[in-house]
């Protein structure tokens, strides 16, 4: 028993708040269901000079004040190289690799002076740290904040590299991965579009190392993605080597951060009819240019539907800037970028909110009947667990692939027809899809389907013999050996 009391789990997320929240929720889940198995969950925190970390700091403070079994170890800040011009995707890998010496020192200090480290859990942007844990002989697990369907494609990437001689960006055809619907080549994640890019190289390296890990933990549940999970488990995604064990322990959702007494949008929702509001929110980083914001406003106004819309400040007017859809928001006046008179004409049936809302609480509110999302996996899970059908509007990362899963595999969402290669969507298309989601037989079928998945999610995570509870118990038992 002495060893159990002095043992710990180390979590190592990349700097994005979505990655941090998911791993912390994993830590909470472990301590909730197995409180006597480990003394502490320790989260290694990296500062990323290229990302806004204000939300991260607030979240860490809140968890520190409420959950004593989870502590945060801040690694020294590693500056970016001079004149760095890497893409955001490349930087996410590079910042973590720059921190390997800091990770080594932290793990050595923790293991020599405080606890026996039972497992080191990293996300895929922290792939370089697997070299450190390997040297220290610490069992290493990858935590996947994306879908099992995305993991299927990711693990299959080295095989696909051998099968296809050209870059996805030049293929102009559907590609088939094990256990998931056909994906058009332009819908694969942006980092792997060009096989000659540094981003592609990083992803290949991560896929190869992940396949050699002690296990892969996924934020999903079996009945949500049975085909993809089966394909991975049966070794179809790593055809020429053993597949590490996978543990589907989701859905893990972020906490409800505010209640109806102290949040404007929840108070407003209290006055709206049941299932009448379409909610639009595009993640912690998603933004649109002013021209697109005006089209969204036009579509919402002409749809006649009630709406709650999170509007973030547009990116700089710089045609050479490659990452316009993932700029940290800043303070602004929505009336300066929306059509003249829009806020006045829609007053009462629409509410525009700047920068942030408590998304889990909003989706769970009885007045919300639809969700326009950027197709981040956390957001899709939150929509499913709230029983809300969705409209998918992907912006970056693996979100275009997630939209395919949402529409073709899960069958709980609609896509949007884009006008050009900028992912630009006209107001008439937005109006059409909002009407279809909120008032059509197809929308009703999706509403029924997502309600079934919502109930299945509850069973997976709450029942003693639920698939996710069983997977978690197997994982904890392995770590305690």
pTM recorded for the entire structure: 0.92
Q: Which of 371, 417, 376, 414 is nearest to 395 (CA)?
A: 376
β-partners of residue 28 are none
How far is 379 from 281, CA to CA, in rounded Å?
A: 9
Q: What is the DSSP letter of 42?
A: E
How far is 152 from 178, CA to CA, in rounded Å?
A: 7
78 or 370: which leads in pLDDT: 370
Position 473 pLDDT exceeds 70: yes
Question: For 75-79, what is the mean pLDDT?
Answer: 83
Cβ–Cβ under 8 Å, residues 360 and 268: no
Percent pLDDT > 70 in the chain is 91
How far is 357 from 264, CA to CA, in rounded Å?
A: 9
Length of the chain: 481
Q: Which of 363, 259, 361, 253 is nearest to 29 (CA)?
A: 253
β-partners of residue 306 are 277
Cβ–Cβ under 8 Å, residues 110 and 182: no
pLDDT of residue 258: 45
How far is 291 from 280, CA to CA, in rounded Å?
A: 17
Question: For 141-170, what is the mean pLDDT?
Answer: 96
pLDDT of residue 330: 58
Position 52 pLDDT exceeds 70: no
Q: What is the mean pLDDT of the chain?
A: 90
Q: What is the DSSP letter of 354?
A: E
How many Cβ atoms sit within 10 Å of the Cβ of residue 78?
Answer: 19
How many Cβ atoms sit within 10 Å of the Cβ of residue 148?
Answer: 30
pLDDT of residue 79: 74
Owner of token pair 């609609």 = 414
Position 283 pLDDT exceeds 80: yes
Question: For 296-311, what is the mean pLDDT?
Answer: 97
Q: Which two tokens stand for residue 168?
A: 């996805």
pLDDT of residue 83: 66
**Residue 318 binned pLDDT confidence (cut-offs 50, 70, 90):** low
SS3 of residue 395 by DSSP: coil
Q: What is the CA radius of gyration of the chain?
A: 22
* 161-201: pLDDT as tens digits: 999 999 999 999 999 999 999 999 999 999 999 999 999 99
Q: How far is CA 390 from CA 84, 133, 238, 343, 372, in A?
A: 38, 40, 32, 24, 6
pLDDT of residue 2: 43
Question: For 445-455, what is the mean pLDDT?
Answer: 98
Q: What is the largest CA-CA distance in the chain?
A: 68
| H or E segment and range at residue 477 | helix 467-480
Q: Which two tokens stand for residue 104?
A: 């080594």
The whole-angstrom distance between residue 85's C-alpha and the CA centroid of its chain comes to 25
Question: For 44-73, what is the mean pLDDT?
Answer: 84
Pairing of strands 7-12, 116-122: parallel
User: Which of 75-84, 89-98, 255-264, 395-404 is predicted least confidently?
Assistant: 255-264
β-partners of residue 371 are 279, 390
Give the HSE-up count for residue 414: Cα atoms under 13 Å, Cβ half-sphere: 25
Task: Name the region of 235 (left: φ>0; alpha: ψ -120 to 50; beta: rest).
Answer: left
* 218-269: pLDDT as tens digits: 999 999 999 999 999 999 999 999 999 999 999 998 765 544 456 889 999 9
Owner of token pair 């370089």 = 128
Question: For 381-405, what is the mean pLDDT?
Answer: 96
Sequence-ordered list of residues with C-beta below 8 angstroms from that of 465, at least 6 positions apart, any chain: none
Pairing of strands 183-184, 174-175: antiparallel
SS3 per-residue string spanning 225-275 = CHHHHHHHHCCCCCCCCCCCCEEECCCCCCCCCCCCCCCHHHHHHHCCCCC
| H or E segment and range at residue 218 | strand 215-218
pLDDT of residue 51: 65
Per-residue buried b or exposed e for 384-422, using 16+ beta carbons within 10 Å of the residue's own CB: bbbbbbbbbbbbbbbbbbbbbbbbebbebbbbbeeeeee
Cβ–Cβ under 8 Å, residues 417 and 424: no
């Amino acid at each position: 028993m002495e060893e159990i009391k002095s043992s710990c789990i180390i979590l190592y997320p990349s700097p994005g708040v979505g990655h941090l929240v998911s791993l912390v929720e994993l830590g909470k889940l472990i301590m909730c269901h197995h409180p006597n198995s480990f003394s502490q969950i320790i989260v290694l925190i990296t500062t990323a000079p290229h990302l806004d970390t204000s939300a991260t700091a607030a979240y860490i403070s809140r968890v520190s004040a409420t959950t004593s079994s989870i502590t945060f170890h801040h690694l020294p800040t590693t500056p970016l190289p001079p004149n760095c011009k890497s893409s955001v995707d490349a930087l996410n890998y590079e910042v973590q690799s720059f921190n390997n010496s800091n990770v080594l020192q932290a793990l050595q200090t923790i293991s020599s002076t405080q606890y026996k480290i039972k497992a080191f859990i990293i996300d895929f942007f922290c792939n370089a740290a697997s070299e450190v844990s390997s040297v220290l002989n610490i069992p290493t697990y990858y935590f996947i904040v994306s879908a099992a369907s995305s993991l299927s494609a990711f693990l299959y990437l080295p095989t696909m590299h051998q099968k296809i001689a050209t870059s996805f960006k030049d293929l102009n055809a559907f590609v088939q991965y094990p256990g998931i619907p056909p994906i058009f080549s332009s819908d694969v994640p942006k980092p792997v579009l060009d096989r000659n890019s540094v981003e592609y190289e990083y992803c290949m390296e991560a896929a190869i190392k992940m396949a050699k890990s002690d296990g892969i933990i996924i934020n999903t549940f079996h009945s949500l993605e049975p085909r993809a999970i089966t394909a991975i488990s049966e070794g179809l995604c790593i055809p020429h080597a053993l597949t590490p064990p996978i543990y589907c322990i989701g859905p893990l959702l972020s906490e409800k951060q505010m209640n109806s007494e102290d949040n404007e949008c929840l108070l407003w929702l209290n006055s709206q009819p049941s299932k009448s509001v379409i909610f639009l929110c595009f993640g912690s980083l998603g933004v649109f240019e002013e021209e697109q914001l005006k089209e969204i406003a036009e579509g919402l106004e002409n749809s006649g539907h009630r709406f709650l819309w999170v509007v973030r400040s547009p990116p700089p007017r710089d045609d050479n800037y490659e990452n316009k859809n993932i700029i940290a928001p800043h303070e602004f006046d929505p009336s300066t970028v929306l059509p003249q008179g829009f806020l006045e004409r829609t007053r009462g049936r629409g509410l525009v909110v700047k920068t942030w809302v408590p998304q889990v609480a909003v989706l769970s509110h009885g007045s919300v009947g639809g969700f326009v999302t950027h197709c981040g996996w956390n957001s899709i899970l939150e929509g499913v667990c709230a029983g809300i059908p969705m409209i998918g509007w992907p912006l970056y990362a693996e979100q275009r692939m997630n939209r395919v899963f949402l529409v073709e595999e899960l069958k709980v969402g609609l896509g949007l027809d884009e006008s050009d290669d900028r992912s630009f969507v006209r107001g008439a298309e937005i109006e059409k899809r909002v009407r279809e989601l909120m008032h059509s037989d197809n929308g009703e079928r999706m509403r029924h389907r997502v309600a079934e998945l919502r109930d299945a999610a509850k069973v997976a995570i709450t029942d003693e013999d639920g698939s996710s509870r069983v997977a978690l118990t197997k994982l904890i038992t392995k770590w305690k050996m």
